[in-house]
Chains A and B, each alone.
Chain A
């Protein structure tokens, strides 16, 4: 069993955590998400200062709608590509496996809380993904599906209304708004904490920039995987190449 984290031969002190493809996916997601959030909340809160570029004039409001739909389409297509990536590539399937939540994650959560409250001596040890990352990924998929489906249904409201009563639009609007709030707050409170404001990480977890994780950080954050790699490392002569773009 080879590891999802790869030894980077050029830099003995660091490992590859995210492939280029995954990093591109992440940043496309980040750009479309932010654009969606700003242009979306500008509709709900047109009088807010940050909504000024998208409110007050008819054409600005139209621009807001166009940008929201472009970003929404990008988000949906990225989601479809991501589903393909996770299902059809070897690395994707292995990542999916690594994201799979289990009882151990609940135990890790308990241990971590006890540890942070000073009731446990050692923090939990994680494999390739911590329970925090797994929770976020699952929330992202869940939220992405809800936002995508409700968004597309609201986009093509005339088609939606062919099959559903008018109040479905009201329901979808509520769902789209509240899920947007949930997603945005989760990104700010959860994601930004772990990749920015976490004292061990601050000012930025750069693994999504260059794809690398240092030996020290690897050992500290993902001890179980690091440990496995140490044992396997002796048996391996060549690092496994990523094959993310080749369907298997």
Chain B
């Protein structure tokens, strides 16, 4: 690593030297600036009178993507005659990177800077200053390995979160443990999602902004950048049909999977793990009185499932027993009336048959979520009620019968003992 670094520095020296030959006008060469700015103790005072370092790590600068630039290429406003005198206005990256200026200006960070925030990310906030490197370089602040930590400079700071009313104060903590974070940070799979993959880079916008890739209606498309097959399936599902129309109650990817914390369905902590998907995820809406009433859905789905063998087995930890997704599908959920639905009468034999190999038509055609208000459910419920009262009467009778027997015999024994 170190030898690579030194080699790179050496190469940069060479290229810088050759450039000096080809560039006719060199206002101030690096070496002249570094005569003073290479001194780690070089300081000055800012407007508020606070001491600030004016040190620039030359080695780091030479390794940076701009290492073969002259200082005045960026610090164009430094008055050479007066230097050191009044400090310059600052560096305008837009001189070269003009395509980034507008997206950043319209971004949540740019808008914040416009509104006078001194905290919001400017170019150097994310890319660094003299250490700027392309995203492909592993030591770059925006390399996938480092990007989350770069964002976290502000986005893991509770003070910043409070000051700007940012709802998720430490997304990095969740991201690190997520399937994406683990893939990037532990497995070094840099194709996996990092902050920018979902939020965008220079043009990053607030989730409430319809132009943001994380605006709720844009979430499926954003995830679909990588998860193309799922995106295609999902966009044919009943959930997207509703979401597309603007029904916010209909789930998009993150409503079931989470965002920063998104985990593999095999992870027991995932909200879509077989043991959790039914009660932690589906039931959040399908057992919600508000939602089921609003859209005229049957609210008894959750309860009837929970009391069934499948529901009880899942509660007891069975990975084999059917959960909601086993029958209704995952991204392809459709109402039973749809011929493509896994629970369409024509497909039930195959759906039930995936666990019950000898599924017959008889098997496949019965009602699954038996309620106490419709036909076969009523009969079952009467049996339940009859049994309940049978137990109350029989066991109650036994308790009375044995209770009086116990009292009588105890009294007799006490009497006998007293007599003896």
The residues of A with any CB-CB pair to B shorter than 8 Å are 42-44, 46-47, 51, 54-58, 60-62, 64, 112-113, 115-118, 157-159, 161-167, 169-171, 173-175, 178-179, 181-182, 185-186, 189-190, 193, 197-200
Contact = CB atoms under 8 A, between A and B. Distances in A.
Given A58-B320, A157-B356, A175-B383, 7 more contacts: A55-B317, A58-B317, A62-B320, A164-B362, A165-B362, A166-B368, A178-B391
Name B's interface SS.
helix
A182 B360 contact: no
Interface in B360-401: 360, 362-363, 365-368, 370, 376-377, 379-380, 383-384, 387-388, 390-391, 394-395, 398-399, 401
A186 to B, nearest CB: 7
B225 interface: no
B360 A161 contact: yes
B380 A117 contact: no
B380 A43 contact: no
Contacts of A164: 362
Q: Is the interface of A mostly helix, strand, loop or mixed?
A: helix
B398 A189 contact: yes
B298 interface: no
Contacts of B124: none
B413 interface: yes
Interface residues of B, number: 47
Contacts of B312: 43-44, 46
B407 interface: yes
A181 B391 contact: yes
Q: Which of A47, A62, A170 has the most CB of B within 10 A?
A: A170
A-B CB proximity, top 5 nearest = A166-B366, A46-B316, A178-B387, A167-B376, A116-B404
Contact of A58 (B318, B359, B363, B391): B318
A161 B362 contact: yes
Nearest to B312: A43
B218 to A, nearest CB: 38
Contacts of A112: 405
A173 B368 contact: no
A193 B384 contact: no
B34 interface: no
B379 A171 contact: yes
28 contacts: A42-B316, A43-B312, A55-B315, A55-B316, A56-B317, A58-B317, A60-B317, A117-B404, A118-B408, A157-B356, A162-B358, A162-B362, A166-B362, A167-B367, A167-B370, A167-B377, A170-B308, A170-B377, A174-B387, A181-B391, A182-B391, A182-B394, A186-B398, A189-B398, A189-B402, A193-B406, A198-B409, A199-B406
A170 B357 CA distance: 20
Looking at B316, B320, B407, which has the most chain A CB atoms within 10 Å of its CB?
Answer: B316
A163 B360 CA distance: 10
B313 interface: yes
Given A56-B317, A61-B316, A175-B387, A182 B395 contact: yes
B317 A46 contact: yes
A62 B318 contact: yes
B315 A116 contact: no
Nearest to B394: A182
Contacts of A157: 356
Contacts of B53: none
A189 B316 contact: no
B380 A199 contact: no
Nearest to B386: A178
Contacts of A116: 404-405, 407-408
B410 interface: yes
A233 B98 CA distance: 119
B380 A167 contact: yes
Contact of B317 (A57, A117, A171, A186): A57
A170 B370 contact: yes
B69 to A, nearest CB: 61
Contacts of A189: 395, 398-399, 402
Contact of B357 (A158, A167, A185): A158
B290 interface: no
B406 A197 contact: yes
B11 interface: no
